[in-house]
Every structure is written in structure tokens, then in C-alpha cells.
Amino acid sequence: MPETAASPAPTRVRYLVLAMLFVATTLNFADRATLSIAGPAAAGQLGLGAVAMGYVFSAFGWAYVFGQIPGGVLLDRFGSKNVYTLSILAWSVVTALQGFVGYFGPAAALISLFSLRLLLGLAESPSFPGNSRIVAAWFPTSERGTASAIFNAAQYFATVVFAPLTGWLTHAYGWQYVFWVMGGLGVLLTLLWVKSIYNPREHPLVNRAELAYIQRGGGLIDMDQPAIAAHTTGPNWSHVKQMLANRMLLGIFLGQYCITTLTYFFLTWFPIYLMQERHLSVLKAGFAVSLPALCGFSGGVLGGLFSDYLLRRGHSLAFARKVPIVAGMLLSVSMIVCNYVHAVWLVVGIMSLAFFGKGIGSLGWAVVSDTAPKDAAGLCGGLFNMFGNTAAITTPTVIGYIVQGTRSFNGALVFVAANAVAAIVCYLFVVGDIQRVELRKEPA
């Protein structure tokens, strides 16, 4: 029967929203990774060694971790769109400012760069909890794994697109232009974001049929309604305590730390590994990292699709989420083989397999969307991201000490692979069943 005015087909506005999340997350990761390509040239000008670069890389992580709980509270209080808009604008301005540190003397430049990386981490801190909240609001449970995997896979797509660009900019114009170009793109994204992102009930393009479909499937379409948000005035430490005492959530949080260790090896030291250990030029390294990144992106999308497929086939939520995570982390362990081969093409191939696996296993944000308490989704996402991005502090620093102490990346690859094994242990033996958490109401 043809559609009638009384029963219109559901719109597909949620896919437009997901596309914007993908674009924003791509630029988010590109901005935090700018230093990995421009770093050797900047370090040479500023006189920074491996340990100093490790600390500069980790500066982002300190502020990013510190900002997770406040960022989650702001999201719950003021809504995803408002907080995310300010976040994009702020991190874009800070990115552009990093291009000016070369005009200072060595000491002042080091302090300025470290400080700006701190500000970048603070500015970006609401982004992934915001992604999780928007997906929880716009997508039913049966589509949430794919949606979360797509925005999370943007971290690899950022490298596919921007690593060659930043390598070319560094080679052709100088490392400063990397930061100026990326900052300018972020300001443009801010304008597009304001015109594209709305709460489900407020979007000018959505119809009632799509809203009903989302809500029937478990979408939290009223998450950012003023009457709900008004109750969030600051961190509810009772809620924090309950979430940290929940074995399932704690296992998810610890597992994300281990998985994110792989992310920050890729974002910080991997291009430098190719340049220093495998003797590629900055231009060649910028292109060489694209293949592992493309494989990570493909694995990320495939992991989400496969997880939702298992769910539709009648498997439990725990089975559907855990199988891709465990299988992906097992593939990631293959990076250790790079310690025993010499051909650059083979190294890139093995790393491509490892990051394909890492992409498949990156379903943590889908799990958070499935488990976060309805009245504290931003706070739960902030805790999850705080645990995960502690790896942004430890990974660059630990690898810096390993490389400086051993004059080799062999130990660094073992360290990263060991974290993949630890993630498997968390999901198999700590997490248990996966279900939405209900928080106890504290007496007045």
C-alpha cells in the first residue's frame, strides 16, 4: 500500500546527526594528533628529547582526564549541543595557537607548548561523553553499536585524511602551518555544528514516526529536556561512588584504559617509530600511517555492524558486545611480530592487521550507551572516558622512557600488546553481564 499523510515513513535524521558526530570526531582526533607528525620538526627546533616529548604528549592527557567529570556534569546540566559547540570552538582556537610557540625562546616555547596541550585536553574533554549522550538520545539499542562504532572509527579516519596532509604541510611549509590550518578548519566546523545538531524533539527535519521508532527501541529522546537537566547542578558524588562500586562498570572502565593505550601509541609515537626506528622521512611516514589507520577505520565500522548483527540474531547484549572486543584485541597482539621483521612494507602490513583488530574491539562507547544510568549518562561517560584517557598520560610517558632507556621501540610494542591482553581479561572475567545500571535514590 502507498504511504498516506496519516502514516508517513520515518525520516532518517539520526543518520545526519551521526554524520556530524563523525566529522566532529575526525577533527577532534586530528587536532590532538597534530604533534605526532609535526613533533620531530618541532622538537628539533625546540631542542626536545624523547622524554621531553613524552611529557609534552602527555600534557593533553592530564587535562583531558581532569575534565571528564566536569565535562559530563556540564553536558547533563546544559545539554549536548550547547556544551559541544563551545568545546569545538575552544579546541580549534587552542590548536591554532600552538603554531606560534616557535616564535619564543626554547624554554618559553616548551612551557607554552605544554600549557597549550593542557588547554587542548581540557577543551576536548566533553566531546566523547557528548557523542555517547547524542547516540543514546538519537538511536535505538539495536542500532547503537553501529552508531557508536562509526563515530569512534573517526579516530582512524582522521589519520587517513590528515596524516598525509599534515606531513605535506610540515614538509612544504613548516610545522607551524599544521596547527594554523587545523585550527581554521575547526572554526568552520563550529558554524556547521550549530546549524545541524538539535535535540531529537527539536530538530526541524525529524518527524513523529522517527521519534516513535527511536523511543520504542530504547532511545532516550528526552534526555536534554529542561525539566530533566535542571536537576543536574554539580557532580553527584553518591552516583560516582555507586558507579565505581559496580563491578560491571568498573570492568568496562578498566578495559577502556587498556584499549586506549593502543589508541595513544598510534596517535603519539607510531609516526615517530616509523621515522626513527624504520628511517622513513616525515613525508613518507605521513602516508605510511594511513594504511593502518584505514584498516582501523574499517575494523571499527565492521565491529559495530557485527555486534548489532549478533544482537538482531537473538544473542544476548553481553555476547554481542564482548565477542568483537575480545577478537579484536587478540588481533592487536600481532604488533609484537614487528620486533622480528625488517622490511618496512611488512611492518606496515602487520600494524595494519593490529589496528584493524583494535578497530573491531573499540566498542566501549556502545557499551556505555547500553549501560549508563538514564539520569547520569554524561557523568557515566565522563568517568568512562576519564579511566580510558588516563592512558593519554601513561602511554606517551612510559614509551618515552622505554625508548630513551633502550634506544629501541621493541619494549614499547610489548608494553602496548600487553594492554590488549589485559583488556581481554577485563571483559571476560570482570565485566560479567551487560545491562543498564539503575542508581539508588539517596534519602533527602
pLDDT digits (tens, 9 = 90+) for 121-140: 999 988 888 888 888 888 88
Q: Among 355, 354, 334, 328, which residue's Cα sits nearest to residue 423? A: 328
Give domain status of residue 356, yes or no: yes
DSSP letter string, 284-312: HHHHHTHHHHHHHHHHHHHHHHHHHHHHH
Global confidence as pTM? 0.72
Give the count of domains, the chain: 1
DSSP letter string, 176-240: HHHHHHHHHHHHHHHHHHHHH---GGG-TT--HHHHHHHHHTT--TTTT-HHHHTT--S--HHHH
CATH number at residue 402: 1.20.1250.20
pLDDT at 376: 75
Sign of CA dihedral 290, 256, 367, 19: negative
Give domain status of residue 29, yes or no: yes
Tens digits of per-residue pLDDT, 35-66?
A: 766 766 776 667 666 677 677 777 887 888 88
Tens digits of per-residue pLDDT, 246-273?
A: 999 999 999 999 999 998 888 778 888 8
Q: Measuring CA to CA, how many Å separate 19 from each of 205, 246, 309, 400, 439?
A: 15, 33, 21, 36, 32
Give domain status of residue 435, yes or no: no
Give domain status of residue 441, yes or no: no
Q: Measuring CA to CA, how many Å separate 89 from each of 33, 119, 369?
A: 17, 12, 26
Give domain status of residue 4, yes or no: no
pLDDT at 442: 60
Set of cell numbers at residue 89: 570552538
pLDDT at 226: 57
pLDDT at 334: 95
- 56 phi and psi, to 5 degrees? -65, -45
Give domain status of residue 293, yes or no: yes
pLDDT at 50: 67
| pLDDT higher than 50, residue 322 | yes
Give domain status of residue 436, yes or no: no
Residue 126: domain span: 13-429
| pLDDT higher than 60, residue 171 | yes
| pLDDT higher than 90, residue 428 | yes
Mean pLDDT (the chain, rounded): 84
Mean pLDDT computed over 283-296? 80
401 HSE (CA, 13 A, CB side): 8
Give domain status of residue 271, yes or no: yes
Tens digits of per-residue pLDDT, 329-339?
A: 999 999 999 99
Tell me the pLDDT band of 186, cut-offs 50, 70 and 90.
Answer: very high
Identity at 288, one-letter amino acid code: A
pLDDT at 57: 75
More confident site: 161 or 361: 361
